[in-house]
Amino acid sequence: MCPHCGFNYRIEVTPVRSDRSVGRKNVAGLYLLSAAVPVAGFVAGAVLERERGQESRKVAGGCVALAALNMAIAPFIILRFLGLA
């Protein structure tokens, strides 16, 4: 407040609500990326795990699971393709 006239010149600041939900197209893209490139799936999972929303954490778990599944199955597929298995 101004000590001379009493005018309240302070600005009231309201906190901004962070509503960064993951859309359906983004989820499908993240899952596809996680299945194709396991390292990207682990990175996406780590980033999404830090988000506060329950949906983001669920998507993070899916990304990590797909990346791990890809890493487990890929050697067998490659060996089968090469005719070694």
4 belongs to a structural domain:
no
73 belongs to a structural domain:
yes
The one-letter amino acid code at 19 reads: D
Decide which of 39 and 13 is more confident: 39
Query: With 60 as the cut, is the pLDDT of residue 19 above it?
Result: no
Check residue 20 and give its pLDDT: 60
For the chain, give the number of residues: 85
Total tally of structural domains belonging to the chain: 1
Check residue 17 and give its pLDDT: 59
2 secondary structure, DSSP code: -
At 13, list the tokens.
């600041």
13 belongs to a structural domain:
no
55 belongs to a structural domain:
yes
The one-letter amino acid code at 5 reads: C
Q: Which domain holds residue 56?
A: 24-82
pLDDT tens digits for 23-81?
A: 788 899 999 999 999 999 999 999 988 887 888 889 999 999 999 999 999 999 889 99
At 51, list the tokens.
């988000």
51 belongs to a structural domain:
yes
Distance CA 26, CA 34 (A): 12
17 belongs to a structural domain:
no
62 belongs to a structural domain:
yes
